[in-house]
């Protein structure tokens, strides 16, 4: 089973050469891996809430889909346990960017078998959302009884993401 590379390998923003076209000669990506995020909007979607908390990025970076799914699960479990269905959470970051990896052979005799990185494009390994400074990643809408619970849930999610974030509260 192949392991994931560390998030540090993909954290910085680079120019994406990830074009998927219906015409083969214009397509740079042969296969797009499926997104690991299960659901983007859940809780009570129709109710009007009074407060909204947002997790906002303080720097430009790539967020992999497995880290987005990780924070979605931790926030949802905390809110559902304490508030039931009396909240609305929206994951605003969508992983469009395709991450690629040039697989290298390691071990004895590997230096005579591979051609290195010259003109390498790599095989698709995963997806990432491109986050700019000041963009909201997750928004939670709650009433007065869920203010502290939503703030704690977002604080628990922050260590699972690369980069620096700030929690912002807005009265709706």
**Residue 112: pLDDT over 60:** no
20 falls within a domain: no
Can you give the CATH number for the domain in which 53 is found? 3.90.1170.10
**Residue 124: pLDDT over 50:** yes
33 Cβ contact partners less than 8 Å away, ≥ 6 residues apart: 98, 124, 125, 126, 127
Q: What is the domain extent for residue 138?
A: 48-99+124-172
Write out 112-141 in H/E/C secondary structure: HCCCCCCCCCCEEEEEEEEECCCCEEEEEE
Hey, is 70 helix, strand or coil? helix
Distance CA 102, CA 55 (A): 33
Q: Report residue 125 as tokens.
A: 């390994």
130 falls within a domain: yes
Distance CA 47, CA 147 (A): 16
Q: Report residue 5 as tokens.
A: 């590379």
C-alpha triplet 55, 60, 66: angle, nearest 5°: 65
110 falls within a domain: no
**Residue 1: pLDDT over 50:** no
135 falls within a domain: yes
Distance CA 106, CA 22 (A): 36
11 falls within a domain: no
Distance CA 76, CA 73 (A): 5
154 falls within a domain: yes
118 falls within a domain: no
**Residue 2: pLDDT over 90:** no
> Residue 88's beta-bridge partner residues?
43, 141
Hey, is 107 helix, strand or coil? coil
**pTM for the whole structure:** 0.81
User: What is the DSSP code (8-state) at residue 58?
Assistant: S
**Residue 101: pLDDT over 70:** yes
139 falls within a domain: yes
Total domains present in the chain = 1
Q: Is 158:92 a contact under the CB 8 Å cutoff?
A: no
Instruction: Give residue 118's pLDDT.
Output: 60
Instruction: Give residue 110's pLDDT.
Output: 56
pLDDT tens-digit map of 7-56: 777 777 777 666 677 787 777 677 788 889 888 998 899 999 999 999 99
């Amino acid at each position: 089973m192949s392991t994931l590379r560390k998030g540090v390998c993909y954290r910085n923003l680079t120019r994406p050469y990830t074009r998927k076209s219906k015409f083969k000669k214009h397509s740079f990506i042969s296969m797009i891996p499926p997104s690991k995020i299960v659901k983007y909007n859940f809780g009570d979607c129709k109710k009007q809430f009074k407060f909204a908390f947002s997790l906002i990025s303080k720097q430009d970076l790539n967020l992999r889909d497995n880290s987005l799914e990780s924070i979605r699960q931790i926030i949802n479990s905390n809110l559902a346990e304490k508030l039931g269905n009396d909240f609305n959470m929206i994951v605003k970051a969508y992983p469009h960017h395709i991450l690629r990896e040039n697989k290298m052979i390691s071990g004895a005799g590997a230096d005579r078998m591979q051609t290195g990185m010259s003109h390498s494009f790599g095989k698709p390994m995963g997806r990432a959302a491109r986050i700019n400074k000041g963009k909201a990643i997750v928004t939670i809408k709650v009433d007065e009884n869920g203010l502290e619970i939503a703030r704690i849930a977002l604080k628990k999610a922050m260590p699972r993401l690369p980069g620096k974030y700030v929690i912002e509260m807005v009265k709706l």
